Every structure is written in C-alpha cells, then in structure tokens.
Structure 1
Amino acid sequence: MTTTDTTDPTDSDRSTAETDDTRAGDSRRSFLKTGALAAGGLALGASSTDIGAAQNAQQALVYAYEYHPATNFRVEDELPAATTVRLLRLPGGNTVPEISQPDDYNGYVIRYEMGNPRAAISTFLFTRRNLQRDQRYRLSASAQVFSSELNVLGATFRRRN
C-alpha cells in the first residue's frame, strides 16, 4: 500500500509567507512606534526649549517712537526712582490704568547697538527687574501697545553674552 501525501506543497510556502508577513508587520509596527516615540520626544524637547526661552524673557516698556525690534542694546545707567515715576505718569501727575504703581518699575538709559557707536540711539527702558550697567540685552521682534496715553509699548528682552 502506498501512502500518498495529502499535504499540498504550497501549504508550507503559505505558512512561511504568513510568518514572513507577520514579522514584516511586527517590524513595521515596531518601526512606527519607535518613530512616534522619537517624534514625541523631539516635540517635548522643543517645547521645553520654548518654555525655557520664555522663562528667560523679561518684560519691558519702551517708548513707541524709540522701539527697535530684534535689536541689541546696552544698559548705560539707571534712572533715579523719582525720574522713573515722573516718566511713567501723565503730564498732570496722574497715573494711567495700566501702571497704577509707577514706583514698581526701574528705569534705565539704554543705547541700541546698531552699527556705528558714535551715532547710536539712546532711550529709556522700564522694567520691574534689576538690570546691570554695561550688560547687553536683546529686544524681542514684536511688541504690543501697553499704554496709548503714555505712548509706551510692552516687549520682552533677553540677556546677551
């Protein structure tokens, strides 16, 4: 009696092919998971960098006609407190709604670094922070109107090395 093999030779090929497809599918899923994790980590790193940058940014007030976006400046000197208060009040001595306590601010004479140091522009900058004389900073590229009555803009700045 002869026995005949009833298994189809293509069954083993199908089995091998299914195993290969399963491995390839697992490999693709693994690759996609790894890619998604890497992208998530990258996004998290980028957002923490933005948070760190935002935390280093300091708020300042500058006169609208003397605001130069994205420009470096050097602190030349600090204004006396009485002068700062006078500059942050209206001509009659009244305060504006945006600045109820002008004595909370420190005033500084700053000099923009825009090329020729002999023709540099000097102006006032106000902040609630203490700045160091001769230290360099950089104003943000954008500003918002802080007080239209005083013609003052609100901007951020960061310390430069």
Structure 2
Amino acid sequence: MNKFTLSLKMSFFLLICLVFMGFNERISDEYTVYIQKKLAEHYDSRLDEAQIKRYELNVTNRGFCRYKRYFNSGKVEYFSFNLVKFKDLDYYGTDKSGKLYLRTKGEDVIVQTYNDKSGGDIDSMAAYMMIPLKDIEPQDLADLSERLVKMNAQLLAQK
C-alpha cells in the first residue's frame, strides 16, 4: 500500500509540473506572437527597397530574435540575439518612419555577412540590432518595450 501511495504522489507531482510548464509556455507564446506581429506589421521595407530583395524577421518561442536581409547583389546579412540578453530599446525617428534599436547587455548580437564581394564572409558581434519601422505610434513602442522586458524576465526565470 505504501508503494502505491508513493507512486500516486509522484504521479500527481509530475502532473502538476507538466501543467505549470504548459501554462508557462503559453505566456511565452503570447509575447512571441505579439512582438513578431508588431515588428512585421510596422517593418519599413521602403528604406532599402532598391538594394534589398527580401527580408526575414522572426521572434521564436525559445527567445531568439533573428533578422536576415537578402540584397540584390547576392549579399546576405544576418543578425540574431537571445532575448535573455535584451537590455532596452530606443527609437529614433517620427511616427511615420524611424529606426528601432534593440540593445543588449553587451556585444551579444551575432552579425554574419555572406557573399559580400567587397569584404567576403564576416562574423562579428554587436551591442544592438537595428530594424527600420514605419507608421508606429508611441503606445505601440511602449507596449513592445513592455512585452520585451516581460519576455526577458520570463526567459531568465526559466533558465
């Protein structure tokens, strides 16, 4: 009977842990979806329209922010950082057009350049990632900042 009770207690504890982990992941997905949506919705492709063929901008539920630009010349620029390293954001511009700087605690942004005819393939690190935005209201920036901070805190707690 003791073995059965112990097994029952362990099963119950495991079930509670799984429920909490599932709930915790859902919150992270909510932040991820919001951040991804806002960045994609307000991305300003007009800035480098003549040079850039396409871009990819992703925020993953594992906490990575990735930005990749494909140039008409064949050059590819890739920026990536883990939101655990997120420090703050700055926006320079107007509500019509500007640049969003996602700053990290140190040089935590991976910067890679491929197929660059003038400099070759380059790997380096940076302290920020710059994303051009358009038609963004101050309230959207405040919400974005708040969600990034909350996601950062959640990712640190999961670590």
TM-score computed with the length of structure 2 as normaliser: 0.36
The higher-RCO structure (CA 8 Å, 6+ apart) is 1
More strand per residue? 2
